[in-house]
Chain A
């Protein structure tokens, strides 16, 4: 990777000024990249679009990953590879998912992960396109996790 700071690799597109979700996700990713160097490889390898919809807050955003660069858009832009739909609390829950020490995989025994699995079963958290984009979802989970 080049020497460009992560602050300059994450861009909020025009129109996101009032989209708090986009601002929060951008801040979360930036702070994770600065705090946890082990997440940088995932950021470098992520390519494609992910839409996140906070249904109760009626806010949607799109992350457009382009290998070490990220643009966040207001609303759903283009055709997302993966779409996450959940309430705001559950979106936060996704970022609390515990990771295993080895390989940094989601820890199925973790409390937050158990809740995410339960809510996925009951339809409170819906992830569209996950099966076709497993590697992407895994990298995204690691990137967004505060753990």
Chain B
């Protein structure tokens, strides 16, 4: 069953996809630095009236929960926040782009969090995003 991105059902399916990705389990086994918020910027043309986030609470190669919430709340609680417009997230998921390259191109921005920590766990970040490819996704455009 397809889930609209972003939404709570999509977040739940993403949680399962992360936990079902053996490459993430291996690459993320040492990650104990807290949740990561993926913020989709407001876009009225697809009825996203405010910045929204999918927050993945990952720890030691396991996703404890993935939750869809207003970005304002996510920015306060998640130690790592990555933000970008809807189309850039869509492209990242559909084309399985390298998240580091995407950050360098400025298509997504790390707006909160310790960059040296992210750099130490590059493979973990890649596998986290690669897991999204295994979610049956319906994009809003």
A positions within 8 Å CB-CB of B:
17-21, 23-24, 27-28, 31-32, 35, 54, 56-59, 88-89, 91-92, 95-96, 146
Q: Are A96's CB and B109's CB within 8 A?
A: no
What separation, in Å, do the CA atoms of A59 and B102 have in the docked complex? 11
Interface size class of B (residues with CB under 8 A): 10 to 19
Contact of A88 among B104, B109, B110, B115 (CB under 8 A): B104
How many CB-defined contacts (below 8 Å) exist between A and B? 59
A35 to B122: give the CA distance in the assembly, Å: 20
Partner of B115, one of A17, A21, A27, A59: A27
In the bound complex, do residue B106 and residue A18 qualify as a contact, i.e. CB atoms below 8 Å apart? yes
A10 to B13, CA, bound (A): 42
- Can you name the residue of chain B whose Cβ is closest to the Cβ of A20? B106
> Which residues on the A side are within 8 Å of B120 (C-beta)?
96, 146
Specify the main secondary structure of chain A where it touches its partner. helix
Q: Is B119 an interface position by the 8 A CB rule? A: yes
Bound state CA distance, A18 and B108, in angstroms?
10
The answer to whether B100 and A28 touch across the interface, beta carbons within 8 angstroms, is no
Report chain A residues within 8 Å CB of B101: 54, 56-57, 88-89
Mask for B103-118, Cβ within 8 A of A = 1, else 0?
1111111100011100
Nearest 3 A/B pairs, CB to CB: A20-B106, A146-B116, A21-B104
B residues contacting A by CB (< 8 A) are 98, 100-110, 114-116, 119-120, 122
A96 to B116, CA, bound (A): 9
Complex-state Cα separation, A35 to B101, whole angstroms: 25
B119: chain A residues within 8 A (beta carbon):
28, 92, 95-96, 146
| A27, A28, A56, A88 pick with most chain B CB within 10 angstroms | A88
In the complex, chain A residues whose CB is within 8 Å of the CB of B114:
31
Known contacts A24-B110, A89-B122, A92-B122; is A57 also within 8 Å of B105 by CB?
A: yes
The distance in angstroms between the C-alpha atoms of A95 and B101, with both chains bound, is: 15
> B106 contacts A19, CB within 8 Å?
yes
| A31 CA / B117 CA spacing, docked (Å) | 10
Measured CB to CB, the nearest residue on chain A to B106 is A20
Inter-chain CA distance A88–B98, complex, in Å, is 9
Q: Within the complex, which residue of B104, B108, B115 is in contact with A54, where a contact is CB–CB below 8 Å?
A: B104
Inter-chain contact B110/A28, CB cutoff 8 Å:
no
CA distance A56 to B116 in the complex (A): 22
Residue of B98, B102, B109, B122 touching A23 (CB-CB under 8 A): B109
- B116 x A20 contact (CB < 8 A): no
Which chain A positions have C-beta within 8 A of B115? 24, 27-28, 31
Chain B residues positioned under 8 Å from A89 (CB to CB): 98, 100-101, 122
